[in-house]
Structure 1
């Protein structure tokens, strides 16, 4: 039941972005989970016993043979192995599928044509089967997806194999989903005597396929990866358990689930290298912040426009000492001027004049420029020869101090610019020049491949962030006409040593699913 439920989730899985990127990332020679692959080998556990049983019953039995299992259970693969393992000198196999010939007329016509029968009906097919039998050749009729046969077509094909009973010149093989049970219940058997009555109950021998165990699932995936040039080390234990759980142990669904698990691991590696992509460019965000700040400042200035002159007048007296405060306007002006002259901060702070008059110099040697006051009509204060004159003498001193106060700031700016001009970016740790050591190393050695990326900067950044790891390096190859940068770690004499070294890697690096790769394979990729 678990496998049936999970099949809805994994049977339609495909590789996003195409198979080429997947093969390039894992350095596979072909898709290891395709239905038929180069160098394909029939997976023997469980199915080997079923295959042997089919051959035995076909040779010594007298019943139709029915193999059932859910979608993805390996029925078609078993049927192909059956045909491939038959003796061509003593057996002629006619293979078809109910997807192409679901109705009786089309199915019978195809079978007759396949054996070169004289006609296109049941009698012609039986005559041809008998002719073959007399020459020592038995006819195997093999129908896949038999649950799709119409009721009459199924009835006619069953009648063929029951004509001569045990001495029948042909054998019938049906491969179907369990849904065929409803059609089988409607099959009519002519039970005219006791022998036929027994045959009505036992005319078909059913073989029910079983799912793989966890260990068998691992061996199945290992065989698929080995045929594609790699090994089971590409899939860790957690991925293996996930594949087995989501496939229910059925071979067809194992292919889909294993492909998805490896694709997800590949995507995680690429995200770890490239990092999250920002939602908006930095320049756009900065522009929005500046615009927002400008709008807020303009609103605040408009709201405070009428209060600004009053605030300026009230702040100036607060900076003076109580001893010199006087109600006389001229003394108030002097007090205000003294506070500006004595305070270095005030002398360095520019004062914006909104409605002031230009100060008028007089004949006296000392002229004081006063800041604006609330009353626009108040003339600038002029002090000439009065006892209060000594109190304003620091004004030239304050003017002279302004350049001195700016000197440390200028020196700091000079130091900052000097530091910025001499700053050198930290070198990215690398033991090779464009992968030179890969070419010089022995082809039998191994490294751990950590990740691949189309960005050289991303590869260098990853090496820089993980500089604590020894023997981190990257090499450049090409994929689909574009540069492809692959980061590796370590240098090991054998694949086993490289596989064992994975356990000692930091946890974030282990999450990238590193796997052993031979230096010879890398040298071939770099050519």
Structure 2
């Protein structure tokens, strides 16, 4: 299976955010071969709790009773054979009970264009019964979303229309499927031609690329483009390797020079001894100071050490200070000396092992939890509201989102870190606003692309609890 492309990864992040934090139904549309099934499977795999995801592949025979039955079977509930008010209420109560423990069910329906109008309306109506406990994401060809959005249930729907691949994404996809080690076997001109033929949709693009690759007489003259490791990285590594080699050669030459100097000194001494002359003084060079032996000096006798009680040691130190001498500097000036407790002096018995001195363990230090400047601002707020724009498991994705939109919104964007289902969760919010009405006005002033992602107005205390 090819890995998700950059644009596909962004779409999965958006769908995951909408499914987790909004009351919207998500409808993903695109022509055949647009990669809808790949996105549906990636969304199911990304869920923090895979057991709380129901994946259904639609058909013309699939109706609302089948959807309710799939949910009931997933939760090991009694079998459901009809779409009745009693069946819906039973599933709704189970969903709300699980939501109290932090759980939420995501129902993913692929090939949703095969569902009839009654089934789409039933899904939209059922989603309104427990919007915070059960979410729906439907993937289908273009056209079904209009009937879904205009159903009599009037449930809020977010429609995500897929877009054709860019040249860079197309090169990566062709390299993943047909290349060796991620290297695209087509030139940029050939990939551009495949995009023109296929419209840039992944399925048709791969078929066009296969025809170009299998075309007779093109392989010998087609340049290969690396979609993975860039050439500048290879040149950089080669340069570093060259510098390391030069450094090693320099070190070896320096060592050889030092050994040669020692050999010359030994030869001069041998010639002088043979002629009966006294060898001259050895002149130490900058490279042979490690090899020269120090001149022999008579060893000074070690002074006898006398153990003094603690009080006598303190008296000696005081007398040294009175005579103008500085006391010996401790090895670690930065650590204050701990007070020394006077231990009772006991006379050691002959043959007895000396008692081990008591060691006082150092106090343990606890590092305070650090918070970012954005988190400090949010924690300092005395009240008000924020508008949540993004929640992601990727810190780099959240930072990129904030950088992209910081100059395009009226409020200040803040980013804070918390946890969601046991994993790091990075949230980008706008605010802090003094009232809910002010927050709504800020939402209305957002760019259309951000408004379409259903910003979430929340009390700032929610963020403060999450940070703490």
Mark yes or no: TM-score above 0.5.
no
TM-score bin, normalised by smaller chain: 0.3 to 0.5
Q: Which has the larger radius of gyration?
A: 1
Normalising by structure 1, report the TM-score.
0.38
Normalising by structure 2, report the TM-score.
0.43
Task: Considering fraction of residues, name the structure with more helix.
Answer: 1
